[in-house]
């Protein structure tokens, strides 16, 4: 197995669990220092993880990093069958809702990939980010800031357009895939449509 075996009851053998780790443990002290203005390097960050029962280390899984507008990052029950069908692992930070500074939430999302990489084999071409409402807005910032990590995004009832004329990694953005979700009762509906059209105008065809 490629999983770390700390004990017979190790979390990585569970389908759904909560885990916490500091940025120092994840990245090492020297790299962690780069994040000091945003996140204390010795402060544990807590994540909710869901691993489909079908997970097989011989078949690297995709990853869906989710940003919730609420304090809890647990996966909704009706998403679980899709995770299994598409061979996707779910991870979302707790205590990373709309009341938390956007920069901190972005760091949580990027660190989530390192959390999963410690114990599971991932397909780097199938790492995606998503979020709902305010979480969708933060997800849109992460997706266009780190398009080399996140190969696609799902913006659910909340999305922002990049705040520069042309992002540094525009070529990568153009290769990735983006889904915009809204509904008739979504107060972000007009804004979502506006940003969607801006993506198209910028040449992002896989939307």
Tokens 């525009």 correspond to: 170
Residues sharing a CB contact under 8 Å with residue 199, sequence separation 6 or more, in sequence order: 161, 178, 180, 207
Average pLDDT rounded to a whole number, residues 56-64: 95
What sign does the dihedral 109-79-76-22 (CA atoms) show?
A: negative
Per DSSP, the residues of 160-206 read ---SSSS-TTHHHHHHSEEEEE--TT-TTHHHHHHHHHHHHHTT---
For 3-55, write each residue's pLDDT tens digit: 333 332 466 667 999 999 999 999 999 999 999 989 999 999 999 999 998 89
Residue-level pLDDT at 13: 67
Q: What is the pLDDT of residues 154-188, one digit of tens each?
A: 999 999 999 888 888 999 999 999 999 999 999 99
pLDDT at 11: 67
pLDDT of residue 166: 80
- Collapsing DSSP states into helix, strand and coil, what is residue 64? strand
CA 49 to chain centroid:
12
Give the Cα separation of 58 and 1 in Å (integer). Answer: 9
Mean local confidence (pLDDT), 183-198? 95
Cα–Cα distance list, 182 to 37, 66, 157, 179, 189 (Å): 34, 17, 5, 10, 6
Q: What is the mean pLDDT of residues 137-161?
A: 97
Three-state DSSP state, 65: strand
**Which pLDDT score, from 0 to 100, does residue 8 have?**
29
Summarize pLDDT for 75-85 with one digit per residue, the tens: 999 999 999 99
pLDDT of 2 strictly over 50:
no
Q: What angle do CA 47, 52, 57 make, to 5 degrees?
A: 95
What is d(CA 75, CA 4) in angstroms, rounded to the nearest whole number? 24
Q: Output the CA angle 93-167-136, nearest 5 degrees.
A: 30
């Amino acid at each position: 197995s490629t999983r770390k075996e700390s004990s017979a009851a190790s979390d990585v053998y569970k389908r759904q669990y909560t885990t916490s780790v500091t940025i120092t443990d994840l990245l090492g002290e020297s790299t962690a220092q780069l994040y000091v203005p945003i996140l204390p390097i010795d402060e544990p960050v807590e994540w909710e993880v869901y691993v489909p029962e079908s997970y097989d280390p011989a078949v690297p899984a995709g990853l869906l990093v989710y940003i919730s507008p609420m304090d809890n990052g647990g996966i909704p029950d009706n998403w679980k069958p899709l995770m299994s069908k598409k061979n996707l692992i779910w991870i979302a930070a707790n205590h990373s809702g709309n009341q938390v500074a956007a920069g901190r939430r972005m760091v949580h999302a990027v660190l989530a990939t390192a959390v999963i990489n410690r114990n599971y084999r991932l397909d780097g071409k199938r790492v995606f980010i998503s979020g709902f409402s305010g979480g969708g807005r933060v997800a849109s910032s992460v997706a266009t800031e780190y398009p080399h990590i996140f190969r696609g995004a799902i913006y659910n009832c909340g999305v922002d357009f990049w705040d520069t004329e042309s992002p540094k990694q525009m070529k990568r953005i153009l290769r990735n895939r983006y889904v915009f979700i809204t509904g008739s009762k979504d107060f972000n509906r007009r804004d979502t449509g506006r940003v969607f059209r801006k993506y198209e105008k910028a040449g992002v065809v896989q939307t």
